Structure 1
Amino acid sequence: MSVLRLHRVTFRREGKEILHGVDFTVEAGEHWAMLGPNGAGKSTVLGFCGAVTHPTTGSVHVLGHELGRVELQALRRQIGHVNPRHPLRSPLTVGQVVLTGITGTVETPNRWEPTAAERARAHELIDLLGLGPRIDDRWPTLSQGERGRTLIARALIAGPRLLLLDEPSTGLDVAAREQLLDTIAMLPRTHPGLTSVLVTHHLEELPETTTHALILAGGRVLASGPATEVLTSANISAAFRHEIEVEHRDGRWSARTARPAASRR
């Protein structure tokens, strides 16, 4: 079954067309990467995926429901969203932050108490993501990498069918980035029914479990399909308007400025 389907989608903001006839389909169990330069339309497309933005024209189906013909709150409860710019202001503990994934709120709601089963599930996910020793540590004291893994646990606790990761490696050093990518890479094994879409600017930030890719440029789909067919030097160079050499080794991608032929000798 298709988890996401965008058909001839356009989007206008303040009279300007941002997206132009976007088409792509994500099937259950696939793990997509969405790449493109700043202003390509990635955030807008992710808004469709998360059922928070409606198209100007065209149709968007999320988890089998067409936007505009479905009760949005119920649909959103089936979607996990990881945003490193999580707007939490209170000094909640790791455990408390994860539990807010059940209520779908940033802060803990007044007079709400999780059940014993919900607490146990939170502990299970926190342990799974390597944060067991930090469960009682408070949000302001966490490193950016620890916050990222906490937010993944928060997104997973409600048992979503679709996981959206919005530039999850933002602000991480190399070690923290690799820890986070290892966490994301284990999800197909620990959550085999899960489908995911990860947005990034950088090929180095793609987990080795990436199955498909969508490249956006100028509000249009430049290429989409199996990751090894889409993430090529030609496609990335065209999207970013710079000669880039893409390498795929041991399941991971890297990119650098293409060297002139003479310098390769």
Structure 2
Amino acid sequence: MAAVIEMKNVTWRREGKTVLSGIDWTVNAGQHWALFGLNGSGKTTLLNMINGYIWPSEGEIYVLGHKLGSVDMRELRRSIGWVSSSLQEKLYGKDTAQDLIVSGKYASIGLYEKPAAEDYEKAEALMKQLRCQHLLDRSYQTCSQGEKQKLLIARALMANPKLLILDEACNGLDFISKESLLDSIEELSSQPDAPHMLYVTHHTEEILPVFGHALLLRRGKVFGSGQTKEMLTAERLSDFFEMPVDVNWSHDRAWLARN
């Protein structure tokens, strides 16, 4: 299989400002990656490029074996699930959990098609897989933030994506909700038909062991790329943050502390 994502010397400029510069990055088949960077580092711009919403000023991008610019992005996006908290604002709060999930098959906000019975069966199976089957028949607006995130993941999985992007999935969650969501993501990764996953965060402790590779992005440039345990060291992250930090590993996750 071709690389899941391949960026070759990608640069993006806007209004005379260079937002991304010289990005070289390859996600190979069978790999799950973490994209780690502080606010303003260029993470969202990178994701918009992967999804073909903006185009590089320089360089080439390949996603799921297709060169962007020579493929119908509407078709390619059907193979990419992008879970972002910004999507929550666009959804209809009165939709039931299962209707919201089924709408992912049609990539629509709201449900305008007449789904088949097997669509709802699949939606319920996804809810069970993500440990949120208790939300069946609940309206979306009555769900907690953590529950909403699980429903969004299920919605993205409804279309059987080959690439699943989890963009700040734990943003705004309390400790218990965050750990519950991370448990569900870990379980999802163990499924034989799991999509390739890209987990985007600015919290090292959210990077689960399944994300064996990490890209560190700082000020629009690649600061480091490779095996996660080689990227998340005290020495490297002290340079990354430009301040001394300690890294304590617990349950194969990296927890930061000020040195």
* Residues 182, 207 of structure 1: 8 Å contact kept: no
How many residues are treated as equivalent by the alignment?
256
Distance in 2, matches of 1:91 and 1:99, equals 14
- 1:101 is matched with which residue: 104, 108, 125? 104
Q: Say whether residues 1:38 and 2:39 are aligned partners.
A: yes
Distance in 2, matches of 1:53 and 1:192, equals 30
Distance in 1, matches of 2:220 and 2:46, equals 9
Distance in 1, matches of 2:46 and 2:248, equals 27
* Residues 93, 139 of structure 2: 8 Å contact kept: no
Aligned to 1:12: 13
Distance in 1, matches of 2:180 and 2:156, equals 18
Show structure 1 runs of 4+ deviating over 4 A.
none
**How big is the shift at 1:14?**
1.3
* Residues 34, 198 of structure 1: 8 Å contact kept: yes
Q: How does 1:232-243 map to 2 (within 5 A)?
A: 232-243=233-244
Q: Deviation string for 1:200-230 (max 9, x for gaps)?
A: 1101112231110000111110100111111
Aligned to 1:206: 207
Distance in 1, matches of 2:256 and 2:162, equals 31
Aligned-pair identity in percent equals 38
Opposite residue 248 of structure 2, the aligned amino acid is E
Q: Give the secondary-structure state (helix, strand or coil) at the position aligned to 2:190.
A: helix
Distance in 2, matches of 1:182 and 1:245, equals 25
When normalised by structure 1's length, the TM-score is 0.93
Structure 1 stretches of 5 or more lacking a match?
Answer: 259-265
Instruction: Output the aligned Cα RMSD.
Output: 1.3
**How big is the shift at 1:85?**
2.5
* Residues 188, 194 of structure 2: 8 Å contact kept: no
Q: Give the secondary-structure state (helix, strand or coil) at the position aligned to 1:190.
A: coil
Distance in 1, matches of 2:202 and 2:94, equals 31
**How big is the shift at 1:193?**
4.7
Opposite residue 96 of structure 1, the aligned amino acid is D
Aligned to 2:197: 196
Q: How does 1:37-76 map to 2 (within 5 A)?
A: 37-76=38-77
Aligned to 1:262: none
**How big is the shift at 1:125?**
0.4
* Residues 99, 119 of structure 1: 8 Å contact kept: yes
Q: Say whether residues 1:151 and 2:156 are aligned partners.
A: no
Aligned to 1:25: 26
When normalised by structure 2's length, the TM-score is 0.95
